[in-house]
Structure formats: structure tokens, C-alpha cells
Amino acid sequence: MSRVRGGPGGAGTARRPKVLVIGPTPPPYHGGSVATEYVLNSSLRDGFELIHLDTSDRRGLENAGRFDLTNVALAFVHGARFVRLLLARRPDVVYIPVAQNRLGFWRDFLFFLPSRLLGKRIVVHVHGGHFGEFYARTDPLTRWLVRWSLRGVRRAIVLGERLRPILDGLVPPDRIAVVPNGVADEHGGVPPEAIGAGRSGRRVVYLGTLTRTKGFGVVLEAAGRLLEELPDVEYVLAGELHDGEARSIAAPYRTERYRDRITFPGVVAGREKAELLRGADVFVFPSFYPYEGHPYVILEAMAAGLPVVTTAHGAIPEMVTDGKNGYLVPQRDPDALAGRIRELLEDDGLRTRMAAASRRRYLESFTVERWAERMAAVFRAAVDAR
């Protein structure tokens, strides 16, 4: 059901521009739903009247991107609600996080078509790094649909400088804005120099959807090898097992042999997530997910002051500098991952320095306040654009 965030301005104040925000909210937890939640609950409410069209599908992650009758029905229900909101609320800006696959973009067309016909200012947000490849590989009709939909958008948001090229030829360069993700500080304003105090060097954490391309199987292989050398280290892999393939990958490590050494606590959120990260020593996320952009989980680990071992994928190198606040390892390489984990666990000084560097980098660039300032600037530019 659609909902409105933010009330009217006070007497004598200028009218706040209305922004119609399209997107799902958790559960299930994934990048898109978390991003929508951040928009709706941020300080953007102070400068804009946010109107929300909730496109959530509560059935779980396995249904994402599938072609079935329920998904088709949901698309048309959401499209009809969207048109009613356009006509009744008359937003100044329509904010559309665009899909990076064929079926998803055809669903998004239900938002683009009435918005363009009614002359609305459109801001699109690409929450990942796959859009250029999707466009290049899709069928001619969908490519035409993408070009028509993006023609005339007032602003297009990408997650990093490395990702500007994914919109080459589709959006003029001067209309592309780089807005890295930001996350809330759940750690009480602890200064970087104090963030690693009291850690034991005995817990490695992975956080995210447990799916093959996010690299959780690579983490398990690395853990299995390291436990022969460092038997007192615990590996925690928190998140939802995405599908049957993921359950098969995890099955050999959910046995008595690995009891208390490799654990799967399921989805963690809120205080439980913050406490898990506070109790960790090293964060690992060796993703090769095709749609990866600027992962929230890495930012959460940086906010917690953790050295991060990850891959040079999407905009991740704009978050983690190899050798400074973590390491970038080759994709699908459990030996390289294990080597960097071992190095961090065995060198307290190195781990502490990288922990402080992560926390410092987060405070400088990736707080939710900094993100909201950048988003507000994009919305204002869209409102003012001619």
C-alpha cells in the first residue's frame, strides 16, 4: 500500500517539492529494499514531501526476477497505484530505481510511460553495476524501450565514478550524478583510533545474502582450509540461504565436524547486526555478483571499524583501498582469500591499523548524513532543471 512520509510545511514556509518514491521495503532484506528504507527514513523528509509507492513482494528472495503470474499481477497492481498517485498527488519528481534485467525493466516501463506522458521530472537510480551489460545483451525491443524511457530524464544516479560508463549513450554525462551509498552509524561515534580495542583476532564474519555469486562458498572453502592451521577461529556467515544451490553449498559445512567453528545465524538486522560486527575481527565479502554496485554490508563493516577482504568488483575499489583498510583479492579464489585472512588474524598491529582506516574512511565519506546531502542535491537539481 502506498504511504506518505513527511507532513506539510509550517505556515509561511515555501512548499516542499513532492517526490514520488518507488521501491520495496524489507523484508526481505536486499540492496533495493534497504535503499528505499534509507530514502524514506532520512533527513530528505525535511526538504521534500516523500510519497511512497511500496513495490514489496514479501514472498522472499527466491521470487525476485522470476516470471510467474503473481509477479505479473503485482506489476500491474503497482502500475495502477502509481497512476492514481501521479494524478492525485501531482509529484514534482518521480524517483525510479531501475532494474538491470529485461523482465524488471519491462515492469519499470509501467512507471516511465505515464510519467513521460504527463511530463514529470524523472530521476533514475541504478543500484548496481550491471546496467550497461544488460543493455548491450538484451533484445532490440528492450533496448528501444530503455532508450525511450531514459530519454529526457532530469538526473541519473550511479553508485561510483567507476560506474559512470554503464549509462554511456543513454544519458548525457552532465545529467549523471555519483551518489555513493551511506549507512547509519550504529557505533556511538567511536573515534577511529579506539575502534579495534579489545578484539581477540578470532572471529571472521560474512554478512549478506548467501548466494553463490556473493562469494559465500569461497568463504566456506577458505574457512575449511584455515581451520586446519587456526582451529580456534570462528567463521560466522549471516544471511538468508537464497536457494537450493546455496543450501547445497552450505550443507557440508553444517555438520558436526564444523560445529561452533562455522555458524549460520540466518538474517540479522538492527542491534543484532551491529553487535555481530562489533564482535568481529575481519569482514569478508568476496563477491562476483553480476549486479554488484556499492554494497551496504561493506559500509556497515567499515562503520564498525573492520578490515575488509573483498574483490575489485563494481564500485568496491572506491570503498576499500588495497593494503590500507583491507585487501582486494581475485574473484573465486579461496586460497587468496585464506591468505589475506590469515595475515590479518596473525598480525594484531596490521589489523588494528586497517580497522582505524576503515572507520575513518566511513566517517569521511559514507555516513547516512553525507548520502542524504548528495541525494537532496540531485532532487533539487531535477526540480530546477529546464
What are the pLDDT digits (tens) for 130-155? Answer: 999 999 999 999 999 999 999 989 99
Confidence (pTM): 0.91
pLDDT at 65: 55
262-266 and 282-285 beta bridge pairing: unpaired
Q: State the pLDDT at residue 299.
A: 98
Q: What was the pLDDT predicted at 231?
A: 94
DSSP 8-state code for residue 325: T
- In the chain, the N- to C-terminal Cα span, in Å, equals 33
Residue 384 and residue 386: Cα distance in Å, rounded? 7
Q: Given pLDDT bands bounded at 50, 70 and 90, which one contains residue 190?
A: confident
Sheet with strand 18-23: strands edge to edge:
3-5, 49-54, 18-23, 93-97, 121-125, 155-158, 176-178
Share of the chain above pLDDT 70, in %: 93
Distances (CA, A) of 275 to 186, 278, 280: 9, 5, 9
Helix, strand, or coil here: 132?
Answer: helix
- How many CA atoms lie within 13 Å of 47's alpha carbon, on the beta-carbon side? 14
Residue 152: per-residue pLDDT: 86
Complete DSSP assignment for 161-194: GGGGGGGTTTS-GGGEEE----B---STT--GGG
pLDDT beyond 60 at 219:
yes
The alpha-carbon radius of gyration of the chain (Å, integer) is: 21
Rounded to an integer, what is the distance from CA 213 to the centroid of its chain? 15
What's residue 15's pLDDT? Answer: 87
Of 197, 271, 210, nearest in space to 236 by CA = 210
Sequence-separated (6 or more) residues with CB below 8 Å from residue 283: 204, 205, 206, 207, 277, 297, 298, 301, 304, 306, 307, 308, 309, 326
Please report which residue ranges of 258-305 form alpha helices under DSSP H.
Answer: 270-278, 296-303
Mean of the pLDDT values across residues 159-188? 96
Rounded CA-CA distance 303/301 in Å is: 5
| Residue 179 buriedness (CB in 10 A; 0-12 / 13-18 / 19+) | buried
Cβ neighbours of residue 386 under 8 Å, at least 6 residues apart? none
Q: Model confidence at 188, in pLDDT bands (50, 70, 90)?
A: confident
Q: Residue 325 carries which side chain, given as an amino acid letter? A: N
Question: Tens digit of pLDDT for each residue in 103-117?
Answer: 999 999 999 999 999
- Amino acid letter, 133: E
Residue pair 369/7 in contact (Cβ under 8 Å)? The answer is no
Cell 530514502: give the residue: 39
**Per-residue confidence band for 7, with pLDDT thresholds at 50, 70 and 90:** very low
Residue found by looking up cell 568488483 in the block: 313
Per the CB < 8 A criterion, the answer to whether 381 and 45 are in contact is no
Of 205, 217, 220, 219, nearest in space to 245 by CA = 217
Q: How many CB atoms lie within 10 A of CB 139?
A: 9
Q: Which residues pair with 310 in a beta bridge?
A: 285, 328
Summarize pLDDT for 51-86 with one digit per residue, the tens: 999 998 866 555 555 556 777 888 889 999 999 999
According to the model, what pLDDT value does residue 120 have?
A: 97
pLDDT value of position 12: 44
Distance CA 381, CA 164 (A): 18
Distance of CA 262 to the CA centre of its chain: 25
Cβ neighbourhood burial of 215 (10 Å; 0-12, 13-18, 19+): buried
In this prediction, residue 386 has a pLDDT band, given cuts at 50, 70 and 90, of: confident
Cell of 183: 549507512
Strand 155-158 and strand 176-178: the pairing is: parallel
Taken in order of first residue, the domains within the chain and their CATH numbers are 3-182+367-384 (3.40.50.2000), 192-365 (3.40.50.2000)
Q: What is the pLDDT of residue 60?
A: 59
